[in-house]
Amino acid sequence: MAAPADNLLVATQVRKEFGGLVASNDIDFAIPRGSIVALIGPNGAGKTTFFNQITGVYVPTSGSIMFDGVEVVGKPPHAIVELGIGRTFQNIRLFAQMTAVENVQVGMHCRLRGGIFGSILHTPRVKREERESRERARELLTYCGLPRRHEEYAGTLPYGDQRRLEAARALATDPKLLLLDEPTAGMNPQETADFTDFVRRARDDKGLTVLLIEHDMKVVMGVSEHVTVLEYGAKIAEGSPAEIQANERVIEAYLGKGAAA
Amino acid sequence: MSTQGDVRPGVRSRVQRTWLLIGGLLVLGIVYPLIVDSLKSLPLIGDFVPRTDSMVTILIGVMMALGLNMVVGYAGLLDLGYVAFYAAGAYTAGWLASQQFSQVTVHFGSTVSPDLSGIHLSMWLILILAGVFTTIVGILIGLPTLRLRGDYLAIVTLGFGEIVPQFVRNADSIKGFDLTNGTFGIAPIDSLGIGGFVFREQSNKQDLYYWTAIGLLLLTIFASVRLRDSRLGRAWIAIREDETAAAAMGVPLMRTKTWAYAMGAFIGGVAGAFLASFRAGAFPADFYFNFSIFLLCMVVLGGMGSIWGVLVGGLILGYLNIEGLATIGSKVQQGGLDFDPTKYQFGIYGVIIVLMMLFRPTGLIPERRHKIEVAEGVHDTPFYDVQLEGTLTDRDQSDD
């Protein structure tokens, strides 16, 4: 791993219990700045639960999550977005009855200032902000591979475009860290390959750090620089993709005991 | 793109038609008091034309429905206690423009005789003060309740809607202090007016109140349109669509919902104070649960979230409630049938709502967004709860 001083996110002993179920079992986890990190593990390993703790949807039972030197545990989701953590959802959660552009504009919410009086009176500042945010939303949509259909309702877009729109909406929050929850689920091989390129390009263009949950091992091995493996809420391995591929404990978790031999 | 040339003129003429329609309605709305007598003398339909003073009450009802629409239609917060805002506005007018507090004599810009005891501020100022006071009430009610979702919020707002009328009925002796004059209500409340020109003393007082009501309604429509298309309006609709996703995109849930509640409360408060001045009193019997439901029916009938829909729905139900049913009843009885529809008014509204839900669930003039909801179907179940973290629903068990 990179020098500890240059970690964008450091989770220490993060623990989440739902009643008797330990969904996160004292996880230590660090994301080097500028890297693409994959979080993998069998179904029910606690990957999304871990995501939800980073984004403030759940509050950990104990432990700490430092993002860029700031403790995020206990902060509400919107404040964490403001700090610079953007996310997508495993099962697409767009605002179906808003247009693509409006969806992206909601993503910009915490970067815009227009208040209630400015909006009613249409002050020049609010008017300019609205115009600029629309233009930026269109640019972002095009950047994410959605050059058309900007004024269509999100709910009427085809599946692949909805995934692209979700990525654009997450980028609109102006994140330092982008969390992608199974971004290629339901995509065909071509779309998956395009998306992998897109993640790398976005990281380089926008200086992002990316954490993704992924089941498609081709994506994991192709795009990520570090891989962390969870099983039953506990971290069982981490390292480079090649190391993980050779790790017996990981093979065992996925394929069962004896498969490693 | 050969179609573009064909589409553009069509779009332009549609926009022109819309503006022509709005302009026509506006002119009709403004000259209504002047032509109402000629309208009433028309054959057949003349008897069904509402009087100007009925129109004042109807228009203010529509204004309140538009306020409720911001809470229910835009932000998706089912508020069953909107009548509390009406009451707060009306009693603000009662406190600041009547002889209720005759222990003191305070006058500021009022139209009544300067030796009259009690607080008498300018009614125009009171309209704003009532809005502000009601907003504060709305925020105070909202802070603890807006953390709840869906049905739970509805139940708690229902509770507040019941508490307020009970409170004003019984607050005539708070340790000997008479705040609300109990079941008798506060009356008389001062009239609107400018200097020595007092609306209530004019022979066409209902016309003057009518034009003021039109002005207030236009301001409400204007604010509704502007807010709908703003950063805040987008955040409201995002919350209505998917609260969890909205929070994850940086929308502060509590603050944004509270703004919706506050805007709804402000409009309700102004409308309440105006109506109190028009009726010259604030009476606890006006502030019952039925009224909240009645406003909600206007919103549902017209189309939740749709400004023009709520306007039309509000006018229809308001008219039926104030005059329409009684007029129809007298016609029916003249025809020899012993049937009085005013006795069954809530039954009739109920039937209207049920029929709407069956045949046109998005309302008379649906919000453009809602059209696709019915056509496409929307996943709307939260699979975890942001506010009550750790509360798992069954969907969450299969997640991850």
What is the DSSP track for A178-228?
EEEESTTTT--HHHHHHHHHHHHHHHHHHT-EEEEE---HHHHHHH-SEEE
In chain B, the number of structural domains is 1
Q: Residue A259: its pLDDT value, please?
A: 61
Measured between its terminal Cα atoms, the distance across chain A in Å is 28
Work out the average pLDDT over B116-134. Answer: 94
A212-230 in b/e burial notation, b at 16+ Cβ within 10 A?
bbbebeebbbbbbbbbbbb
Cβ pair A110, A171 in contact under 8 A? no
- Nearest CB to B242; choose among A93, A102, A110: A93
Q: Residue B377: its pLDDT value, please?
A: 43
* pTM score of the predicted model: 0.88
Q: Is residue B238 part of a domain?
A: yes
CA gap A94, B237 in Å, rounded: 12
For residue A126, which residues of chain B lie inside 8 Å, CB to CB? 230
Q: Residue B254: its pLDDT value, please?
A: 93
Residue numbers of the domain that contains B79:
47-288
A48·B400 Cβ contact <8 A: yes
Count CB atoms within 10 A of the CB of residue A109. Answer: 25
Q: Residue B2: its pLDDT value, please?
A: 41
Q: Is residue B141 part of a domain?
A: yes
pLDDT surpasses 90 at B145: no
Percent of chain B topping pLDDT 90:
53
Query: Sheet containing A226-231: which strands, arranged edge to edge?
Result: A85-87, A177-181, A209-213, A36-40, A226-231, A234-239
Task: With H, G, I as helix, E, B as strand and everything else as coil, classify residue B301.
Answer: helix
Range in A39-43, B91-95, B127-131 with the lowest mean pLDDT: A39-43
Q: How far is CA A158 from CA A161, A163, A183, A195, B249, in A?
A: 5, 9, 15, 16, 22
Q: Residue B385: its pLDDT value, please?
A: 39
How close is the nearest chain A Cα to the Cα of B310, in Å?
19
For residue A156, which residues of chain B lie inside 8 Å, CB to CB? 372, 376
Q: In this structure, what token pair is assigned to residue B74?
A: 């835009």
Asked if B307 has any chain A CB less than 8 Å from its own CB, the reply is no
Work out the average pLDDT over B224-230. Answer: 93
CA gap A45, A27 in Å, rounded: 12
CA gap B255, A181 in Å, rounded: 27
Count CB atoms within 10 A of the CB of residue A259. Answer: 11
Phi-psi region of B373 (alpha: psi -120 to 50; beta: other; left: phi over 0): alpha
A163-189 in b/e burial notation, b at 16+ Cβ within 10 A?
bbbbbbbbbbbbbbbbbbbbbbbebee
* Nearest alpha-carbon partner for B247 in B364, B131, B386, B99: B386
Determine the residue type at A1.
M
Q: How far is CA A78 from CA A156, A172, B138, in A?
A: 27, 14, 23
Q: Residue A216: its pLDDT value, please?
A: 87
User: Please, what sign has the CA dihedral across residues B9, B15, B18, B19?
Assistant: negative
pLDDT surpasses 70 at B30: yes
Find which of B1, B229, B231 to mutate to test the A interface (most A CBs within 10 Å of its CB).
B231
Find which of A40, A93, A134, A230 to mutate to test the B interface (most B CBs within 10 Å of its CB).
A93
- Nearest CB to A78; choose among B222, B251, B392: B251
Q: Is residue B336 part of a domain?
A: no
Percent of chain B topping pLDDT 70:
89
Q: Is residue B132 part of a domain?
A: yes
Mean pLDDT for chain B? 86
Work out the average pLDDT over B164-177. Answer: 88
Q: In this structure, what token pair is assigned to residue B26?
A: 């506006």
Q: Residue B9: its pLDDT value, please?
A: 58
Determine the residue type at B221.
I
Identify which has the larger pLDDT, B232 or B47: B232
Q: Is residue B221 part of a domain?
A: yes
pLDDT surpasses 50 at B384: no
pLDDT in tens, B269-312: 999 999 999 999 999 999 988 899 999 999 999 999 999 999 99
Cβ pair A210, A33 in contact under 8 A? no
Work out the average pLDDT over B228-247. Answer: 94
Identify which has the larger pLDDT, A2 or B161: B161
Q: Residue B165: its pLDDT value, please?
A: 86
CA gap B271, B148 in Å, rounded: 27
Give chain A's residues under pLDDT 70: 1-5, 258-261
Identify the residue whose tokens are 């390993």: A45
Q: Is residue B385 part of a domain?
A: no
pLDDT surpasses 50 at B317: yes
Binning pLDDT at 50, 70 and 90, where does residue B372 land?
A: low
B372·A97 Cβ contact <8 A: yes
